Structure 1
């Protein structure tokens, strides 16, 4: 109930761009009611999966962890499964991890093992690690943030009070971790629950801006391909993802994409029409060829989850004023592409759940691949602007790497980020891009992977 009341109070702190600051109480009801509806949906989804919140049980650690590490697993009172790992040489710092996604499958007890294995570098560096798989599948940033903070408390009960607590989020987990930092950085007495935040490959543009490009992709794809949906199938607006109650397997989506674009074929095996379709779709949407199916999959299953399970069928996406460019006939494309306008309540609910305010109180370090094919690097420019407008630039250090990866970047770069964060916390020395790059060179000797940091790189804001 305390968490529920906290959620109800936070709309008073949120302002969408373009709304005056003086009229917040006039806007109270229209901001709060959709947020309450969103919370009710989330709470209702979670209530049927609540766990017993029993003590963590000792279990075998993944083989990726160093010898002597101890692992514990359990389920919290909301039903979220979690894992905790402590190295033999624990340095006293706990890293709380927020995973990416959102995942489509129902949570399983061993889900966090994948994240623990992927980021085993934290334990190898001497940090304890704790991660939750969240109480349910599907979208919900505030829900995931609450479950992330829950595993922090459980880990401290299990391990004892740490010297420092760091919050780490990867991919969509970057959105979750950044939201966690805004909601739970301090306890009710103003004491720090966390000491620093590390965000890698983070979806930091928030919900109201972070998914519009996938809505654009669905519209542009349908203009050229006309097979999602097909003409002989139930017709629906593409922003829905799928009709209510309908699912689509990944291989079926791949089949449709291949029919239209020849994506699975060698370029010289594609028909002229397939080549034209693929070239236009990629040029207009800027989606990389290797992640085209992945982005369409998110714009199918995830959109369906958002619309039907979280928004009560209302549309949070908008392309009504978008001018599409880059095709071989922009005039025809803009005339013929499907248009849709966001429902204001759904848009506000999406923003309330997932947008970031920049109201940070903790040192924050980010890392993003310049050629990230999944969460584009301009998310960092948007987050930088958000933090700057909130007056908190001195708490943010952003780093960039010459990589085209998303889910996991080069290992020594993570080690460097956490070392830089501890130095910032303990010695008050704010890192620079150059100092992080130097730290990475030292870590490279341990992990035998390349350091690809670009100290001089700075992303630009996307064109509106």
Structure 2
């Protein structure tokens, strides 16, 4: 929401954030037929059905099927079955002969449906192949939260999945996500709302989460009016791994510290905190409590590992603020603890990177406001540690926004994955230059693949909390 607009109610803000995320990560859901409520049905290449847990599935099969089935995992949002990231991608891939399928995940729980998503995707595969026959090969595709599901399928799907394509994937997992988001929320509350008791975790209702989002967003909006406030916003943005490049703007210069902060503020003003708090409520519902903590976090050390540390330091000096004092305040006040059972559940259901059984190509935009591109660095380190680094390739699109890919970029990445599955070699098909050539040659809607190496994810926790909740 622009700073000049009248603030919306907290409930409205949450609804808008969730609707926007669903649009970005789950395609235009309203264009899909309603899922079947009872027995499986088929109609002119479009199949629907219902799984044993109540999850719906859909599939689209072209008249001239090429034998490849794409199993699509949708992102965070309403649990509605979809089988492609966008309608345009579906149209293009059907024209190329691909069949597509995907499930809603279990609709009876949280929108953070990681308790059922992987199981429901494999069950969808069974249901669809019973209808259309065994595919020549099956490729998993996933976006955002579905990118995490997709990584789990690549980890566990050997023999059933031949390869996987992830886009804007939340591959660092739910606990890393909640922890670095907590650092940003805590920074805003502690430094911009001193003395106020702001509820940051263990939301009992969606309304509580929305109220926190509203309170924190208003604090940021007010703070943007002063140099001291802008310096502290930059500090919170660094902990949130928030990009300094917003939609409709030119990328700021490398040392344009004020310009970078202004574009980070754009993301705050457009409602990123409503997504953060709404997502936290959904994750807490799913894992049975709070899986994040900051007790024991050294905030000076945390900032030192951020790519935005020079920006924050420059803005603090320009504002005449003592950065060390603020970081000391944060460290001394860091007493939030996790619910151990929730941490264990999140590790079991909402993480990936413990290995790969099939080739995985991950694609990410360089300025992702909801799932920071730095997650790819964290994920790759875990895959390498498991000994499966040769199966992973990562590619980057130079663009602002979450899951903001063109149809050409998506199709080119899929073709690169197919090369790896067919030949057993990546060769050079997943390089930025090759992907750019392949996407451009499609003559569709353009491409922006670039050579890029993401920075480290600023999260400051390499293992479980030192001790349980107190």
TM-score over 0.5 (shorter chain): yes
User: Which residue among 277, 293, 301 is the counterpart of 1:317?
Assistant: 293
Shift in Å, 1:198? 0.8
Structure 2: stretches of 5+ with no match in the other structure: 1-35, 243-263, 304-311, 461-470
* Corresponding residue number in structure 2 for 1:297: 274
State how 1:245-284 maps to structure 2 within 5 Å: 245=205, 247=207, 256-257=215-216, 259-262=218-221, 270=225, 275=230, 278-284=233-239
C-alpha contact (below 8 Å) 2:374/2:457 kept by paired residues? yes
Q: 2:329 aligns with which of 326, 335, 348?
A: 335
How do residues 182-197 of structure 1 correspond to structure 2 at under 5 angstroms? 182-183=155-156, 185-186=157-158, 192-197=159-164
The structure whose RCO (Cα within 8 Å, separation 6+) is larger is 2
Between the aligned partners of 1:321 and 1:237, the Cα distance in structure 2 is 19
Q: Judge conservation of contact 1:358–1:388 (CA < 8 Å) in 2.
A: no
Cα distance between partner residues in 2 of 1:377 and 1:274: 26
Structure 1 residues 276 and 178, CA gap change in structure 2 (3 angstroms): closer
User: What is aligned with 2:98?
Assistant: 127
2:42 is matched with 57
The equivalent residue for 2:433 is 437
Residue of structure 1 aligned with 2:346, choices 330, 346, 350: 350
* Residues 310 and 170 (structure 1), Cα distance of their counterparts in 2 relative to 1, 3 Å cut: closer
Superposed CA deviations along residues 342-365 of structure 1, whole A, max 9, x for unmatched, are 233332221121222432111111
Is 1:181 matched with 2:154?
Answer: yes
Q: Deviations over 1:209-261 (max 9, x none)?
A: 2321111122112124439xx95xxx564122x3x2352586x6675455323
- Aligned to 1:414, which of 391, 397, 410? 410
Query: In the TM superposition, what is the alpha-carbon distance from 1:128 to its structure 2 partner?
Result: 0.9
Partner of 2:65: 90
Please give the alpha-carbon distance, in whole angstroms, between the structure 2 residues aligned to 1:443 and 1:246.
41
2:82–2:102 CA contact under 8 A, matched in 1: yes
Of 159-168 and 113-122, more deviation after overlay is shown by 113-122
* SS of residue in 2 equivalent to 1:423: helix
Asked whether the 8 Å contact 2:68–2:135 carries over to 1, the reply is: yes
Indicate whether 1:200 and 2:173 are aligned: no
1:268-324 Cα shifts (integer Å, max 9, x gaps):
xx46776565445335544233433644224322222333x3344454333531315
Structure 1: tracts of 5 or more residues without a match? 1-50, 60-69, 187-191
CA–CA distance in 2 between the matches of 1:384 and 1:245?
Answer: 35
Preserved contact between residue 172 and residue 202 of structure 1 (Cα < 8 Å): yes
Q: 1:179 to 1:317 in 2, by over 3 A?
A: farther
CA RMSD of aligned residues (A): 3.2
Distance 2:454 2:227 in 1: 36
| Map of 2:127 onto structure 1 | 154
1:238 aligns with 2:200: yes
* 2:179 counterpart of 1:219: no
Pick which of 427-436 and 384-393 moved more.
427-436
Q: Tell me, what secondary structure is at the counterpart of 2:402?
A: coil
Distance 2:370 2:412 in 1: 23
Deviation by residue 1:66-103 (Cα, 9 ceiling, x = unmatched): xxxx32223222111222112233211000001111x2
8 Å contact kept, 1:217–1:296:
no
Alignment TM-score, normalising by the size of structure 1: 0.72
Do the aligned residues in 2 keep the contact of 1:218 with 1:239 (CA within 8 Å)? no
Question: What is the TM-score when the length of structure 2 is the normalising length?
Answer: 0.71
1:210 to 151, 166, 177: 177
Q: Deviations over 1:36-92 (max 9, x none)?
A: xxxxxxxxxxxxxxx976213327xxxxxxxxxx32223222111222112233211
* Aligned equivalents of 1:403, 1:278: Cα separation in 2: 23
**Pair 353,86 (structure 1): closer, same or farther in 2 beyond 3 Å:** same
Q: Does the 8 A contact of 1:174 with 1:204 survive in 2?
A: yes
